[in-house]
Amino acid sequence: MSFLDYFRSKKTNTASVAKERLQIIVAHERGQRDMPDYLPQLQKELLDVIRKYVQISDDMVQVDVDRNESCSVLELNVTLPEK
Amino acid sequence: MARIIVVTSGKGGVGKTTTSASISTGLAKRGHKTVVIDFDVGLRNLDLIMNCERRVVYDFVNVIQGEATLNQALIKDKRVDTLFILPASQTREKEALTKDGVEKVINELSETFDYIVCDSPAGIEHGALMALYYADEAIVVTNPEVSSVRDSDRILGILQSKSRRAEMGQDPVKEHLLLTRYNPDRVERGEMLSVTDVEEILAIPLLGVIPESQVVLNASNQGLPVILEDQSDAGQAYDDAVARLLGEEREHRFMTSQKKGFFSRMFKGG
């Protein structure tokens, strides 16, 4: 830092940018890490079953697994198209 | 039964070997019989950092394959009586480290040593997995920098799923965060992630903070584990980390910048 810089306004705090980016990516990667291996297949088959009755696209079904200490919860979100 | 400690990080160049050398030297200096194993097959470097590169005759892979006994391969440290080094092979394939082979060597070492420190190679491939598989504890070496923190989190996931303790459903591997190359001045200027930032993201207990220091390079140039530079900040920070590893309570040091006066800042350019 040169003498003049010392009096200039503060530059952006890059450390806080780094922290924010890391928190997002780490949370995302942890989420994927805990997923059981069968999840993609399960999602595909569920989609097939639902399609027998309702026309939906791939991104309208969301499958997540939430793990607590005592149990795991399989969360299934299906968005049905408007009639 | 020995305590098996892996020094790991995912990312390369963050200070795993420097840390392995210092932590093992520190443990041995306190009278614990300690062996440090280099798992980096093909890229052996622990021997250089510990100044025994010209005394290597047999290596880890020789022992696994029955070409040498452990006693033939172990190198006794010249500075600390209770410290031994098991060097990696420089010429073999990484796959020469098999789970069974590593287990056999670790079991045999376990009979006579108090601590087995495993210096992991970078990455998450075979060598790194072998280094962490049998661990009871893990020292995750991290730099306050985005790629290192992300890789550390990745390696934590692997410790929690692929270690023997995880596979056997035993108590999990005890995790320790060691933050290295820490520069408090840059943290204060908002240019570097702080200790609390990294602790918050990784959410594991802090073992120590090693300040960025010229002493580290000077020590490795000479093959001296930096913990033996006991007048230096980095050496003392490693000594604190060893003490904490052994259950001592020690306050963290070297985490705030040494304030410079106005004049020195002007003339040295801050």
B269: confidence class by pLDDT, cuts 50, 70, 90 = very low
Whether residue A29 sits in one domain with residue A7: yes
Nearest CA in chain A to B200: A23
pLDDT tens across B104-122, in order? 999 999 999 999 999 999 9
pLDDT at A9: 54
Query: Which CATH architecture fits B3-246?
Result: 3-Layer(aba) Sandwich (3.40)
Share of chain B above pLDDT 70, in %: 96
Whether residue A45 sits in one domain with residue A29: no
* Residue B17 annotated as binding site: yes
Measured CB to CB, residues of chain A less than 8 Å from chain B are 1-3, 5-6, 10-16, 18-19, 21-23, 25-26, 29-30, 33
DSSP string, B247-264: T------S-S--PPPHHH
Q: Is the pLDDT of residue B248 over 90?
A: yes
Whether residue A79 sits in one domain with residue A46: yes
Contacts of B145 in chain A (CB under 8 A): 18
Contacts of A3 in chain B (CB under 8 A): 266, 269
Region B213-231 average pLDDT:
96
**Strand ranges of the sheet holding B174-182, from the earlier edge strand across to the other edge:** B75-76, B83-86, B34-38, B115-119, B3-8, B137-142, B174-182, B206-211
pLDDT at B46: 97
Q: Do B141 and B9 contact (CB within 8 A), yes or no? A: yes
* Residue B15 annotated as binding site: yes
Whether residue A29 sits in one domain with residue A43: no
pLDDT at A10: 57
pLDDT at B94: 79
Other Cβ atoms less than 10 A from the Cβ of B33: the count is 16
| Residue entry with tokens 């900040």 | B233
B264: confidence class by pLDDT, cuts 50, 70, 90 = low
Ramachandran assignment for B169, one of left (phi > 0), alpha (psi -120 to 50 degrees), beta (any other): left
Cα B263 versus chain centre, distance? 39
* Residue B11 annotated as binding site: yes
Nearest CA in chain A to B266: A3
What's the mean pLDDT when you consider all of chain B?
Answer: 94
pLDDT tens across B37-60, in order? 999 999 999 999 999 999 999 999
Q: Is the pLDDT of residue B266 over 90?
A: no
For an interface test with A, give the residue of B142, B146, B147 to mutate (most A CBs within 10 A): B146
Q: Per residue of chain A (83 residues), what is the pLDDT tens digit?
A: 566 555 555 567 999 999 999 999 999 888 877 777 788 788 888 888 988 998 888 778 877 777 777 888 888 888 888 76
Whether residue A44 sits in one domain with residue A29: no
pLDDT at A3: 61
3-state secondary structure B195-230: HHHHHHHHCCCEEEEEECCHHHHHHHHHCCCHHHCC
Our CA-based measurement puts residue B187 at a distance from the nearest CA of chain A, in whole angstroms, of 8
B259: confidence class by pLDDT, cuts 50, 70, 90 = low
pLDDT at A24: 93
pLDDT at A8: 57
Q: Any residues with CB less than 8 A from the CB of B229 and at least 6 apart, and which?
A: B215, B218, B219, B235
pLDDT tens across B5-15, in order? 999 999 999 99
CA distances from B213 to B10, B12, B28 (A): 22, 18, 24
pLDDT at B238: 98
Look up the domain containing A66 and give its range. Answer: 36-83
* Residue B12 annotated as binding site: yes
Structurally, chain A folds into a number of domains equal to 2
pLDDT at A67: 73
Whether residue A80 sits in one domain with residue A40: yes
pLDDT at A60: 82
Of residues A41 and B230, the one with the higher pLDDT is B230
Q: Where are the alpha helices (DSSP H) in B1-118?
A: 16-29, 46-49, 60-64, 70-73, 99-112
Q: Inspect the interface and report whether the beta carbons of B149 and A26 lie closer than 8 Å.
A: yes
pLDDT at B112: 97
Domain ranges in chain B are 3-246
pLDDT at B93: 81
Whether residue A53 sits in one domain with residue A20: no
Our CA-based measurement puts residue B146 at a distance from the nearest CA of chain A, in whole angstroms, of 6
Structure token digits, residue B162: 């692929």
Contacts of A30 in chain B (CB under 8 A): 153, 157
Other Cβ atoms less than 10 A from the Cβ of A69: the count is 4
Structure pTM? 0.85
Distance CA A55, CA B226 (A): 66
Size of interface A-B (CB pairs under 8 A): 53
Our CA-based measurement puts residue B204 at a distance from the nearest CA of chain A, in whole angstroms, of 14
Q: Do B133 and B2 contact (CB within 8 A), yes or no? A: no
Whether residue A43 sits in one domain with residue A14: no
Our CA-based measurement puts residue A72 at a distance from the nearest CA of chain B, in whole angstroms, of 17
Whether residue A54 sits in one domain with residue A21: no
* Residue B13 annotated as binding site: yes
Nearest CA in chain A to B196: A19
Whether residue A2 sits in one domain with residue A27: yes
Q: Inspect the interface and report whether the beta carbons of A19 and B193 lie closer than 8 Å.
A: yes
Distance CA A76, CA A62 (A): 6
pLDDT tens across B151-195, in order? 999 999 999 999 999 999 999 999 999 999 999 999 999 999 999
Our CA-based measurement puts residue B166 at a distance from the nearest CA of chain A, in whole angstroms, of 14
Whether residue A14 sits in one domain with residue A46: no
CATH of the domain at A55: 3.30.1070.10
Region B207-212 average pLDDT:
97
Helix (H, G, I), strand (E, B) or coil at B75: strand
Contacts of B194 in chain A (CB under 8 A): 15
pLDDT at B91: 83
Question: What is the β-pairing status of strands B83-86 and B75-76?
Answer: antiparallel
Whether residue A72 sits in one domain with residue A47: yes
pLDDT at B270: 42
Q: Inspect the interface and report whether the beta carbons of A26 and B201 lie closer than 8 Å.
A: yes
